[in-house]
Structure 1
Amino acid sequence: MIRIHRAFPLLALPLFAACSSAPPSSVLLENQARCPQQLAQGQMLILRLPSNPSTGYRWELLNTPDALRSLGPEVYSSPDKVDMVGAAGHSTWRFQATAAGKGSLRLAYQRPWEPEPIEHFECRLEVR
């Protein structure tokens, strides 16, 4: 029994190290209160903002930092209640942190035919 007790710390050490050092594989960003945001290279950033395209308003991506690569176009998802025509939902973008660097992710919420947006989203990002 004494030999088992002495070996336990050596066997458990890799488990504890793995739990404490790895960043999450993705970061969900839903508002500017979580900004500025730091990411590790290889990490995915998921940006999810409230949206209602049935009103004519859309989020327009104005600036993406060079350290991020887009993983596809905006995806709109409506609420679970499909019987509510015109109900608001969410627009989601996915980015991969590919290189070290700093910059701002900027979007504007507006109708294409109106000169000014009604809302802005800006988040300073740093990829390490």
Structure 2
Amino acid sequence: MPFVVQEHHGANPSTGYRWEWVDHQDSIVEQMGQAQFKPRATGDPPLVGAGGWESFDFKAVHPGQMTLRLVYRRPWEEGVEPRKTFSLQVTVP
């Protein structure tokens, strides 16, 4: 199945926040590698602590429907609501 989804989300790892894929048990997609951070162009040299984009690559592994869900949070903070959430309905024929 050649279906690939690439997601880009604003991020700033220097704050401790990061995007994470959640609820991925019984998923019809799998993440390809680790999320990658690309800093925003802020000049030369890049500014320390500047934000950028975190990107994820997913590929289809079997047919079906699901909600792909990402949350923006500090991984060590338990019981705290995510700062941001992202959901995408995915259908693989």
TM-score tier by shorter-chain length is 0.7 to 0.9
Matches within 5 A, 1:95-106: 95-106=58-69
**Structure of greater Rg:** 1
The number of residues matched between the two structures is 88
Partner of 1:70: 31
Q: How far does residue 84 in structure 1 lie from its aligned partner after superposition?
A: 1.7
Identity %: 33
TM-score by length of 2: 0.82
Show structure 1 runs of 4+ deviating over 6 A.
none
Can you list the C-alpha shifts for 1:17-73, whole angstroms capped at 9, x where unaligned?
xxxxxxxxxxxxxxxxxxxxxxxx311111111110111111121123622122111
Matches within 5 A, 1:1-128: 41-64=1-24, 66-81=27-42, 82-114=45-77, 115-128=80-93
Choose between structure 1 and 2: higher helix proportion: 1
CA distance in structure 2 between the partners assigned to 1:98 and 1:108 by the alignment: 22
**Conserved 8 A contact 1:42-1:98:** no
CA distance in structure 1 between the partners assigned to 2:12 and 2:4 by the alignment: 25
Q: How far does residue 83 in structure 1 lie from its aligned partner after superposition?
A: 2.8
TM-score by length of 1: 0.62
CA distance in structure 1 between the partners assigned to 2:19 and 2:62 by the alignment: 25
Partner of 1:20: none
